[in-house]
Amino acid sequence: MKKILLLITLMYSVQTMAQQKLPYVMYDAKGKKVKYEKMLRVLAEQDIVLFGEYHNNAIAHWLQLEITKDLQARRALTLGAEMFEQDNQDPLDQYLAGKIKQKQLDSLARLWKNYPTDYAPLVNFAKEKQIGFAATNVPRRYASLVAKGGFTVLDTIPDREKNWIAPLPIAYDKDLPGYKKMVEMMGGHGGDNLPKAQAIKDATMAYFILKYRKPGTLFIHYNGSYHSDFYDGINWYLRKQEPGLKIATITTVSQADISKLLAEHLGRADYIICVDEDMTNTY
């Protein structure tokens, strides 16, 4: 009788799970489903977490905030983001310190169009908890210059403005998978300088992550997934400068069926947020 009841219970549980409509599933690099709490324990032991997002993905942004809140309950944090360029660090610091209002930040910093919905919650959490927040990205005008003329154009910018980019000369490996794939995706358009523009962003973000990281704290960095997928990009520059760092990566992918991770996403990051492709985007 007990065996029959157990079988009925198991059948009911399987049927119930099949009927659930979940917006995302969390996987590890090998495609095994991961429990949130287990992932959180691992993240809390790192020096740096690179959180790769789809910029318009609501689930990724929600998880960024939730994971940050839960890690803050366990560790002292420093935050940083691709979405803030280094020459906007001063107004960001002023806002966090309560010296200027949101309206002034809007006018002084080049905020992304989805800032109010997707990044303001993170910045306001940092403000509330008095957590440092680094503007890690290169000013976009310099990435544009590199895309047109290569790294040598950076030698011509004023010395003061060189403080907003990674120290020159920029280390660069054109054979890194992410940069090679970029060239392939563009079909040769953009030439050899296109991946260099990506590299100046990656190098600069890595540089300012290390500059603003405080001993004993966990640094969480929010960036587009392409900047850290397959342990490439920012990760490569971080490890080149400090090989002993404990770094965990998170990425975001989208699938029609989220019950099993597609082979193309295996190994993309330590933790993979697999979102239903029907999920509403923020823009």
* Amino acid residing at 224: G
Opening angle at CA 177, ends 81 and 274, nearest 5:
55
Q: Is the pTM of this model over 0.75?
A: yes
Round the CA-based radius of gyration of the chain to a whole number and report it: 21
pLDDT of residue 168: 97
Q: Which fold has domain 23-276?
A: Rossmann fold (3.40.50)
- Rounded to 5 degrees, φ, ψ at 15 are -65, -40
Using alpha carbons, select from 148, 171, 188, 140 the residue that is nearest to residue 234.
171
Q: Which residues pair with 77 in a beta bridge?
A: 218
Using alpha carbons, select from 25, 98, 29 the residue that is nearest to residue 63.
25
Tell me the pLDDT of the chain (283 aa) as tens digits: 544 444 444 444 444 445 678 999 999 999 999 999 999 999 999 999 999 999 999 999 999 999 999 999 999 999 999 999 999 999 999 999 999 999 999 999 999 999 999 999 999 999 999 999 999 999 999 999 999 999 999 999 999 999 999 999 999 999 999 999 998 887 766 688 999 999 999 999 999 999 999 999 999 999 999 999 999 999 999 999 999 999 999 999 999 999 999 999 999 999 999 999 999 999 9
Strand, helix or coil for residue 49: strand
pLDDT of residue 191: 81
Alpha-helical runs (H) found in 109-149: 120-129, 140-149
DSSP assignments along 251-263, one per residue? EEEEES-TTS--G
List the chain domain ranges: 23-276
Angle between helices 120-129 and 58-72 (to 10 degrees): 10
Tokens 């360029």 locate to 85
